Chain A
Amino acid sequence: MSTWSQINLMDPSSYIMSQMNLFHDHAMILLVGIFVFVILMGVSLLKNKFHGRLVHEAQTLEIVWTIVPALLLVWLALPSLRLLYLMDEHPQSSNTLKAIGHQWYWSYELPAKDNMMLDSYMLPEESLESGQYRLLEVDNRPAVPYSFDTMIITTSSDVIHAWTLPSLGIKMDAVPGRLNSMNINPFVPGIFYGQCSEICGANHSYMPIVVEAISMEDFTNL
């Protein structure tokens, strides 16, 4: 979950998310480099006393400042495409979890547990215990086994919501009348938090998503 002074991405809990973090770092290298370069050029232009009244066409310069940005874009695009196709892989999943959005709570169905149904309401501030997170804790949270692929199928019973777990690197709209599927594979056990990510009415900010990743043994014995 995010903390109050956090400016970076969350610590990843799945390999896809850690790859996204690395790609983010890669893109930031390019962006910060360009930014610093532009600032330097700007300062230099303002401060120097060179003049170029007699410069016409400047073919070499034009060629260089066309080719170099093109190469930089290729340098950005190759890891981007690699990540895009990596995210698009659909491994055969071991488990399914259905997440249905309502105004303003999530309900989950676990087909592995005879379609056990859970309604997941946010805990109001008054009933939080010491150490629990405000606006993030819920009364019931679904479990998934870690190190196994779980397919999440999300839909809505009323308006569009969005199911998201940032530390697992997923976000998907929960659209009424449609089943959207995505895969998660947490590599550590733990509790992952997220918040509804599509405006859905008065309590849109008060319908968090919490998933607990537990060992496969514990999951089968639930």
Chain B
Amino acid sequence: VVAALTKKVKKKKYQMAAVKESGEKLWTLPFDARFPNQNQTRNCWQNYVDYFRCQKIKGEDYTPCEYFKKVYSHVCPDAWVEQWNEQRENGSFAGKI
């Protein structure tokens, strides 16, 4: 009985580890204390603007800037990102980069 139970526990632990591992492959935006509440609009805006500011200051090949891009692509709807990209190209973007 003990052997059977031990086998069950081991199998469960293996399954839980597998689930945890596959969960760790997923990345999502971490908690940002500047935006602790429900309204994440500013989170999206700030990371979008910070990405381009980072690129401007550090150059386009500076890979740590990609963190901001990762965050804004998770938070911001594609439509907003496309609209802002167009505005930046037109020179009509409201943010200061």
Contacts and interface: CB of A to CB of B under 8 A. Distances in A.
Interface stretch (A4-12, A143-151, A203-211): A143-151
A94 interface: yes
A98 B28 CA distance: 12
A178 B40 CA distance: 7
Contacts of B31: 90, 92
| Of listed B38, B40, B77, residue having the most chain A CB within 10 A | B77
Interface string A63-90: 0000000000000000000000000001
A153 B28 contact: no
A147 B78 CA distance: 27
A157 B25 CA distance: 31
A129 B48 CA distance: 44
Contacts of B41: 177-179
B75 A153 contact: yes
Interface size class on chain B is 20 to 34
A117 B78 contact: yes
B28 A182 contact: no
A217 B19 contact: yes
A90 B26 CA distance: 18
A217 B22 contact: yes
B73 A157 contact: no
State the main secondary structure of chain A at its contact with B. mixed
B74 A148 contact: no
A98 B25 contact: no
Interface in B62-80: 73-79
A179 B25 contact: no
B79 A157 contact: yes
A111 B22 CA distance: 16
A93 B28 contact: yes
A98 B23 contact: no
A204 B86 CA distance: 32
A147 B39 CA distance: 25
A217 to B, nearest CB: 5
Contacts of B28: 93-96, 111-112, 151
A181 B19 contact: no
A155 interface: yes
A109 B18 contact: no
Contacts of B39: 178-181
B27 to A, nearest CB: 8
Contacts of A90: 31, 36
Contacts of B76: 179
Contacts of A147: 19
Contacts of B75: 96, 153, 179
A80 to B, nearest CB: 20
Interface string A143-180: 00101100101010100000000000000100001111
A151 B29 CA distance: 9
Interface of A: 90, 92-96, 98, 100, 109, 111-112, 115, 117, 145, 147-148, 151, 153, 155, 157, 172, 177-182, 215-217, 219-220
